[in-house]
Structures are given as structure tokens and as C-alpha cells.
Amino acid sequence: MKKLLLPIFLVAIASNGIAQKDRSKKVETKYLSLPSYDISETDPSTLIVEYAMDNGTFGAEKLKDTKATCIPKGGKLKDAIEVTTYYYELPYAQPASHLVAHSADGKLIYSTKTSEKGSSTVKFGYQKCEYWVSDKLKKDWATMANNFKSTEHKKYEDLIYTKSTEIATANLFLSYVNQEFDVYSAKGKDYDYVDLDAAFDKAMQAYQGIASNGPNSSDFALLKEAIVTWEKELGTLDVEDKKARITKDIGKGLHENCARAYMYMYDFDNARKHGGTFLKLFGNFSNNRSTAFKSLMMNMEKQKLAKEKNATIMNDIDALNKMAQASASNTVNVKRLSSADFARLASDDASYRMEQRSEVSDARKQDEEAAIASGELNPYQKYVMDITGGKAIMMTMKPSPLTGIPTLKELPAEMCELEGLTQVLIMNNELETVSPAIGKLSELKKLDLTGNNIKTLPPEIGQLAMLETLRLGKNPIESFPEEIGNCTNLKTLVLKGSVISADIKDQLARLLPDCKIKY
């Protein structure tokens, strides 16, 4: 009996230690995907859609053998025996292919690469009983090789052409895309999650309704009600406390819920806000879930541009859905061209990709400027990168449009608002002053301002209790505040390339007795 008590006791302890966590359930639904052009101006049925594949190439054949089950001439199934047969194996360089769509007036509407260059192998005569003698294989190969290669290439091209037709149909019309994903709630014995469970049920009902009927105002209303609950709960998110009502893991699920729900309602600005926060909660960690969501975020950007191009038909979601249902049975007539047209289609595809990148870049810039203007986004957040042990801003190249590094006269106060910075490197810029807000960077360990125009530092530098390395080389330093002596963890101060007076050297020796100073 005593032997049973220990396991029971351990289980009881483990049970008491279980914190709140997320719970989820998969839902199968469909998303109404918008085409990348204005379908109110261009009738999809009038599009000229072309497809071409480059030539495939075959390498030298290699003689191989294998076992085959064969029936002797005049024999029956019971007489089958295993014999060695010969065959040729050839490497096949799979070619790329392109799909391009133009409007009737010649405007490039859509393009994509439907297959990439790849490599595979094909087999001639594999497990054919007549090739139990290699000379027979060689003789047939001499007369059938060209036809075999042509047939194998056509089989591959037919496969990709079918795929290309499906891609064209999905992207040139309003089209329903089947999706499967998790909807999240929460569980835990310490809190009541009845509101989250109700929001979960509403979302599941909405997605199931959309799966049956397409996007519609009544199911969107259910998603909006769920979002209200999710966003209210996210207001209590505590990423540090594993026993909080809304923990980090629960918060991930709720942010993902909101991002997907907003996307389904074509509110891409709010969808991306929640999506960005969702990914931030993963930090440096990445898994299948976060990787898949990054792909979803990329699709959100494309759909946002598509929504803007189709603004005139987006006001009435029910009417939009009826339009999609009417075109659901449509297929695109894809004109199959020869390899001679491949280069032209490849050139069109390159032009389209460049145009798409430009549109996405402009949209991102506009969104960023609007977020900065509203105070929602820190203008220096985009320069933050994750490093071992924290985060860093590294502007080590000279400012220019090519590097994307701005010209700075002052180390900005906004930069000092960024949480978790352990390194700030702004080198070869035009800094003249450092904002007093520098004192807010309580976790800063390294500050490198080499190659600027700094004459002094603010007294708030002394608030950097964790600072270990300070580099101020190639600056016209004239003085240091006495408060630098409060940087008791400072181990290295680099002033190479700066003209430092004897008085300043004496001052630094007095204030920083344990710091290695390099002149």
C-alpha cells in the first residue's frame, strides 16, 4: 500500500502545478479570395491567358538491372518466376514554366511561375520481361529513345499545364479557397472562461456558416462579437505570469483568432496588427505554427492590395458573395504555347513581379507612415533585431537611401522608448547630441557611437547601470558629465580617434577606476 502513495502524491503535485493554457479545435471553412485586378473594369472572361514551358533536357542513359516477376512464353500465372531484367535510367532536368494573363487591350493582369527548374529521373524498360537480355534493351533504345524522351517530357508538361489551369481559375476569378485552421479558447481550473467559450462557439458557427454559404453579413456579425470578447480579454494579457488569467500561450491563440477573423472580413489593417503581435509573442522561437502564419501574413498583404483595386465591389459583401457563386463554375481557357514563347512569358512574369513588389513596398510605406503619425508605431522599431540575450539596433553603415539608414543629428528619444534593447550601434552618422531619454534604456549593455559629431553626453548616461561597453571613437569629445561615474558595470571605454584633453583623462581615471579606457 505504501508503494502506491508516492505516485499518487506526485500526480497531485503535478496537477496543482498546471497553469492556465489554451485549448483549440480545427474548423474547415472557405475564404473568398479576391483577384489582383479590378474585375468591375475587366471582365475575367475576356482575359487572354497563356502558358509556356521551357525545354526539358535529359542526361546520358545508365544501364541498370532489377528483379521482375515474369511468365515464360506459353506458360501460365502459376509458372511465373523471378528474373533479372535490364533498364535505362536517365536524369531529367525539369524545366520552368510561366502563366501570364493580359486584358483584351494588352495590359498585364496576372503572372506566376507554375513550375521551377528541378531534377528527377525517368526509366526506360523498367521491369519489362522482354529485357532479360541487355542487348534487346540496347537495340530498342536505339530506335525508341527520341520518342521516349518526347513522351516523358509531355507527361510532365501535361501535369504542370493542368496545375496552371487550376491556378489561373483560382486567381483570375473571385474564388473560394478551402482552409483548415485552429480556433482558440482557454482552460484552467483557477478561472472561469465562459466568455471565451461563448466567443469560441460564435466563431466556429460563423466559419461553418461561411463554409456552407460563403461570406455573408450575418456570419460576419458573429465574428465581430467574438472579436469584441477576444480583444477585451487581451487587455489583461500578462506574458510573464504563467498563472495569469490570460497567459502568453492563451494570448497567442486570441491574437491568431483576431487576425484570422479580421482577414475573413477583409479588415486587413486590424488583421495585420494582431498578426504582428502574435509573431512577436514567439520571439526568436519559430515552429510550424508561426512559419505557416508568416505565409498567411504575406497573403494578407496581397489581398489588401486586391481589396483596394476592387474597392467598388467591396461595400456589399452579400452581393460580392453572389458574384463569386455565379463565377464558381467558370474555368479559364489557358492557351498552351510552345517553348519558343517561354522567354517572352518569362519576361512578362519578371515585369509583373517587379510591379507587385513595388505595390507592396508602397503600401507598406504608407501603412508605416500612418502608424507612425498616429503614434501607434515607433519609427525606429523596424531597425530592431533579435540577438543573443536581447535586442539591438545596428546602424553601422553611412546613411543613404540604399542602406535605408536615416541621417541623425540626435540619438532619438523615440529610440530610447524601445523595450529590451541591450545594444545600440549608430556608427558613421551625424549625431551631435544624445537625448536625455537614453537613461530609459535600463537593459543597455553596449553603446557604440563611433564616427559621429558628439561633444558631450547627457547626465542621464549615469542611469545605465548595466552598461558594459561604451565606444565614442572618432568624435570631437569636449567633456563628460560627472554622472558617468555611476556606470559601475562599465568595463570598456573606447575613445580612439578622439582628441581627449589631459583634464578629461584625469577625470575619467577618477570616475571610472575599474574601467579599461582606450585612447
- Tell whether the model's pLDDT for residue 5 goes beyond 60: no
The DSSP code for 54 is P
Task: Select from 103, 101, 98, 123 the least CA-distant residue to 113.
Answer: 98
Mean pLDDT check: name the lowest of 104-113, 277-286, 387-396: 277-286
Domains recognised in the chain with CATH numbers: 18-36+175-326 (no CATH), 44-148 (no CATH), 381-518 (3.80.10.10)
Q: State the average pLDDT over residues 464-477.
A: 95
Residues forming beta bridges with residue 446, ordered by sequence position: 423, 469
Q: State the average pLDDT over residues 499-507.
A: 92
pLDDT band at 503 (very low <50, low <70, confident <90, very high): very high
Contact 510, 484 (CB under 8 A): no
Side-chain half-sphere CA neighbours of 246 within 13 A: 19
| Per-residue model confidence (pLDDT) at position 469 | 96
Mean pLDDT check: name the lowest of 45-59, 385-399, 437-451, 459-473: 385-399
pLDDT band at 73 (very low <50, low <70, confident <90, very high): confident
Neighbours of 163 (CB within 10 A): 14
Task: Select from 316, 283, 462, 307 the least CA-distant residue to 388.
Answer: 283
Helical axes 268-280 vs 288-309, angle rounded to 10°: 160
pLDDT by residue (tens digit) across 220-265?
A: 999 999 999 999 999 999 998 989 999 999 999 999 999 999 999 9
Tell me, yes or no, if the pTM score tops 0.75: no
Measured distance CA(315)–CA(312) in Å, rounded: 7
